[in-house]
Chain A
Amino acid sequence: MSDYKALQEAVLKGDIKTALEQTQKAIDAKDVARDVLDNGLIPAMDEMGDRFAKGVAFVPQMLRAAKTMQECVKLLQPLFAEGDITSKGKVLIGTVKGDLHDIGKNLVAMMLEGAGFTIVDIGVDVSPDKFVEKVKETNPDIVGMSALLSTTMPAMPETIEALKTAGLRDNIKIMIGGAPVTEKYATQIEADSYASDAGSAVAKAKELLGIS
């Protein structure tokens, strides 16, 4: 097994060119793709997550590291064995009905993706029916709902109700967030989890699915 220090450093720096070179080097050395991912890329992202949580790394650095990792994964893709890549889980995410804001939602989606989740982003102003339809279609593990306005927040319980009526509620975990949302509100509307920001959304998502 190779030493992936140079690769990890490149991911942490967000140096896509060097990271790709290092990944190619590992491929040329006949390293197993799964090893490059598990022992090279993922520990680098974990380290970045740590740095971010400690407040020594900034959001753009985190996002760039995630992008760097994704580019490397693309290069490895043809070399993975069947069933090799196990996504941490699938998250369907959208801003609720009546709300057109998406920066917070996008940030959460990017962070989750960087942490190894598969993201299905269904956009803004998503009606309860649309949530139901998309859940049926994509079969996610987690449904994430976002609202910036307290006036659109009531669309969250409406959506949960619609998912219940459609018989989908028990198959999924529901996570909510956004400026007016609180832990208490999450409990009140019987969501499974609340995250106060994009960083903690990753931790909460892992917690919901019982993974580390």
Chain B
Amino acid sequence: MKEVQTFRPRLKVLGKQQVDAIHASALEILATMGVKMEHPGALAMLKNAGCEVFNEDWVKIPAELVEAAIKTAPKKFTLYDQNGNPAMPLEDGNSFYGTGSDTNFTIDVETGERRPTVIADVANFAKLVDGLDNISFNMSMANAQDVPVKDIYIHAFVAMVKNTNKPMVFIADSGRDIAVIHQIASAIAGGEEKFRAKPFMLNYSEAISPLRFPETIVDKLIFCAQKGIPLCLPSGSNAGGGAPVTLAGAMAMGIAENLAGLVIHQMTNKGAPFLFGPNVSVLDMKSAVVSYGCPEWSLSQAALADMRDELYGIPTWAYAGASDSKVMDAQAGAEAAFSIYSAMLAHANVIHDMGYLEYGSTSCLEMVTMANELVAMSRFFAGGIPVNDGTLALDALKRVSGTPGSMFLMDDHTFEHFMEAQFTPKLLDRSRYDAWEGAGSQDMYKRCNVEAKRILDEHEMEPKSKEVLEQIDNIVSK
């Protein structure tokens, strides 16, 4: 038979008219209300480009500047691993999952208790990520309380690079520590230009919704643009708190904030890599927490992927694999699965926060381990159904039906194809009852606990060279 193309299952939530209307609203916000730009340099740059400055540091940004920035922003770029190998080609709706940033608490893997995070947790999460096949990038997962606050992000960065070679998303406080982190990254890559050519890390910064750009945030944005460090700038445009309660309005505002950042970014360095997307979750109207398990966030980022495909073309920032539950229970599993599948089906690009519990306040090694499996499951689903002579398998049917007593299980076709034709879970248990009972009647949490501990015990990352480690220590001790 002639070749049949495999359709990649795709979740689509916005029509073109909706896309255009949200974009128009974002442009209107920037042109008529403007943003509060607390960075004098950026403010001057915008003013020189013809923007109207008012009320001291508010600035209105006209549509032409925004459209120009969208035009020059790269429509695809690649994050490399720390050894310089391409790891995350951000194009064509490829999806990559990773962990999340600073949590204040973690579920202790030995005791199961929630406790404040320490620097050893950052190392452990990095090591676990390094050992999990479906987690593509690493974030700190812990705001360590046992290191000096002043250099907290430098300590976190060092703990990460010493425990994983995967791409990373990192946080910095200001122009000071981001420069140190960039020095370390350059040492790992073998020089600043080598890092620029093959960046392995992406900076995560947040504007403050509504419409506020603190000076330190813009400092980092400009630094990243100059040094070719890819960056994302999601604001906390959660519906009902930082942004209007209706998703369309929250998206329009969050997109406006992203576009304002993009304008400064591209004016600083045309063609520098920028990852697009606000964090549009909801503020829960009973507890006033920003939800990490709600359907709205998944819906808004699927909508953002539609806006990428219809309009912007710029790879997107997203979240999944997190929960509002305080423990890794059925709620955590349900919420993690929902967001992981929908992010995959929406073809979101860089998807973070895997392994969060308690609306992002607590990290959990077991949760990351479960999320790893759920990504595999959804990746299988999103692969669709290849249709060809081999998969239609008429030959196999002919053999089996023509041989009395035969069954597909013993046919060669099964032997040859079962590995790729089926999804084989590792932690989702399908064993028979007696076998399950015999293995200790473990639930999913317990199985993930055992697996996480096994990886922490057994996994060995490819070590960095002695020279690189020495350079890192020298930079830090300066």
Confirm or deny: A107 has a beta carbon within 8 angstroms of a beta carbon on chain B. Answer: yes
- How far, in Å, is A3 (CB) from chain B's closest CB? 32
| Segment of A16-24, A55-63, A128-136 engaged in the interface with chain B | A55-63
Would you call B361 an interface residue if the criterion is a C-beta within 8 Å of the partner chain's C-beta atoms?
Answer: yes
Q: How far is the CB of B456 from chain A (nearest CB, A)?
A: 24
Provide the residues of chain A in CB contact with B143, threshold 8 Å: 150-151, 180
User: Is there a chain B Cβ closer than 8 Å to A100's Cβ?
Assistant: yes
Q: What's the nearest-Cβ distance from chain A to residue B172, in Å?
A: 11
In the bound complex, residues from chain B placing their C-beta under 8 Å from that of A182 are: 116
A185 smallest CB distance to B (angstroms): 9
Cα distance A154–B145 in the bound complex, in angstroms: 11
A197 vs B143: C-alpha distance in the bound complex, in angstroms?
A: 21
| A104 to B241 alpha-carbon distance, docked (Å) | 9
Interface size of A by CB at 8 A reads 17
Indicate whether A81 reaches chain B with its CB closer than 8 angstroms.
Answer: no
Q: Closest A-chain residue to B150, C-beta based?
A: A151
- Complex Cα spacing A67 to B149, Å: 40
Binds A, one of B126-134, B284-292, B420-428: B284-292
**How distant is the Cα of A193 from the Cα of B203 in the complex, in angstroms?**
36
- Given that A150-B102, A151-B173 are known contacts, is A103 also in contact with B286, CB under 8 Å in the complex? no
Beta-carbon contacts of B134-154 to A below 8 Å, as 1s and 0s? 000000000101000100100
Residues of B within 8 Å of A180, CB to CB, are 104, 143
| Known A58-B285, A151-B173, A179-B361: A103·B152 in contact at CB below 8 Å | no
Query: Contact between B145 and A100 (Cβ–Cβ < 8 Å)?
Result: no
B149 touches A151 (CB 8 A): yes
As a 0/1 sequence over residues 18 to 59 of chain A, the CB contacts with chain B under 8 angstroms (1 = contact) are 000000000000000000000000000000000000010011
Q: Is A198 an interface residue (CB 8 A)?
A: yes
The answer to whether A198 touches B208 (Cβ under 8 A) is: no
Categorize the interface residue count of chain B.
20 to 34
Within residues 268 to 320 of chain B, which ones have a CB less than 8 A from any CB in chain A? 283, 285-288
Mark each residue of chain A from 98 to 120: 1 if its CB lies under 8 Å from any CB of chain B, else 0: 00110110010000000000000
Contact between B288 and A59 (Cβ–Cβ < 8 Å)? yes
Question: Does A107 lie within 8 Å of B288, measured CB to CB?
Answer: yes
User: Which of A55, A60, A151: most chain B CB closer than 10 A?
Assistant: A151
Q: Which of A165-205 contact B (CB under 8 A)?
A: 179-180, 182, 197-198
Contact A59 to B214, CB < 8 A, known contacts A150-B145, A151-B152? no
Q: CB within 8 Å of A: which of B170-223?
A: 173, 208, 212, 214
13 contacts between A and B (CB under 8 A): A55-B286, A58-B285, A59-B286, A60-B285, A100-B208, A100-B212, A150-B145, A150-B149, A151-B143, A154-B149, A179-B104, A182-B116, A197-B288
* Interface residue ranges, B against A (CB under 8 Å): 102, 104, 116, 143, 145, 149, 152, 173, 208, 212, 214, 240-242, 283, 285-288, 361
> B-contacting residues of A (Cβ < 8 Å)?
55, 58-60, 100-101, 103-104, 107, 150-151, 154, 179-180, 182, 197-198
Q: 5 nearest interchain CB pairs?
A: A58-B285, A180-B104, A150-B143, A59-B285, A103-B241
